[in-house]
Amino acid sequence: MNEPQAFLNGIWIAASEAKVSVGDAGFVLGTSVTEQVRTFGGELFRLDRHLARLEHSLQIVGVEPEITLDRLGQVARELAAKNHRLLPEGDDLGLSIFITPGAYPTFSEETEPTVCMHTYPLPFRLWAQKYQSGQSLVTGEVCQVPARCWPPELKCRSRMHYYLADRRANGVEEGARALLLDEQGYVSETSTANIVVFKRSEGLISPPPEKILPGISLRVIFELAAQLGVPVVQRDLLPADLAGADEVFLGGTSLCMLPVTRLDGRPIGDGRPGEMFRRLLAAWSELVGVDIIAQAVRFSRRQRS
């Protein structure tokens, strides 16, 4: 089969046939628990940790699919192997898992959760050049969802606040993303990435773990920092801490790391990706056996042509 496959409610199907009903609660209410995983050389990276986080999210929302975590892992590896073979040599893919409570009661009496898994070629064109130029952030008026609404460790697709925050940030500066603060004005996250600050006097700094999504990539950054002998601290951060930092970067599944070079129209440090970013990303490339920047640049050119 030359078409990518997907897995929907226990059935292998062509990816183009993977459809969710308009009456599904994931569509009607946004009650969709999700995980995004990526491959390096065709191998899913830290899949077990993603599945553990998925299991915790399902416990939070009280959704109990019949499929076991072990079976989800088997399907994920099989799906990645099937679809990776369709990519050009050296390319990699992202894998998306989402689970919903199933049909919304207003539209159907069906009660079984919806379980879907699909892949996609990583859209390197969206971030490849930013490894060199950096990402701009704009402190937004839209705040992070308070913990009294849902806990920060829940990874879900109820993301209207992310959409609005990024839309407003892009209106202030084209290509910028929003820096979300919590209700107290402390730094939280961006729409799809954790925030990490580097200060030579202190090391790496990230917001307290109980206030943010427990990022898989964030944990990798901490592990690599430990190997390099760089201290790691998790404490409250204000926007001023980012503005006065030596370096700031983002951590996320697909892009791994991106340097942040501007905040609210002003340069961070000298306005260029810093040495700590380069050291950490080089260590990550060595860990996975893929030159992360070179791969992104190569395939972003193909995607743009």
Question: Quick one: fold of 130-299?
Answer: D-amino Acid Aminotransferase; Chain A, domain 2 (3.20.10)
Distance, CA of 214 to chain centre: 11
Give the model confidence (pLDDT) of 28-50 as tens digits: 999 999 999 999 999 999 999 99
Specify the pLDDT at position 305.
Answer: 72
Return d(Cα 11, Cα 300) in angstroms, integer.
Answer: 33
Q: CB neighbours (10 Å) of residue 92?
A: 25
Return d(Cα 136, Cα 217) in angstroms, integer.
Answer: 20
Specify the pLDDT at position 2.
Answer: 84
Specify the pLDDT at position 226.
Answer: 97
Structural tokens at position 266: 């002003």
DSSP string, 117-168: EEEEE--GGGTTTHHHH-EEEEE-SSPPPPTTTS-TT--BS--HHHHHHHHH
In DSSP terms, which residues pair with 247 in a beta bridge? 198
Look at the alpha carbons of 254, 292, 295, 82 in this order and tell me if their dihedral is positive or negative: negative
Distance, CA of 29 to chain centre: 21
Q: Amino acid identity of 300?
A: S
Secondary structure (3-state) at 14: strand
Go through 267-298 and write b for each residue having 16 or more CB atoms within 10 A of its CB, e for each that does not: ebbeeebbebbeebbebbbeebebebbebbeb
- Domain residue spans of the chain: 5-122, 130-299
Return d(Cα 252, Cα 255) in angstroms, integer.
Answer: 6
Specify the pLDDT at position 24.
Answer: 95
Give the model confidence (pLDDT) of 135-185 as tens digits: 999 998 899 999 999 999 999 999 999 999 999 999 999 999 999 999 999
Specify the pLDDT at position 1.
Answer: 58
In DSSP terms, which residues pair with 187 in a beta bridge? 181
Specify the pLDDT at position 238.
Answer: 97
Angle CA 274–280–283, to nearest 5: 140
- Averaged over successive runs of 10 residues, the pLDDT of the chain (305 residues) comes to 92 96 94 97 98 98 96 98 97 98 89 95 97 96 93 94 95 96 96 96 97 97 98 97 98 98 97 97 98 97 83
Return d(Cα 169, Cα 267) in angstroms, integer.
Answer: 16
User: What CATH class does 5-122 carry?
Assistant: alpha beta
Go through 250-261 and write b for each residue having 16 or more CB atoms within 10 A of its CB, e for each that does not: bbbbbbbbbbbb
Phi-psi region of 289 (alpha: psi -120 to 50; beta: other; left: phi over 0): left
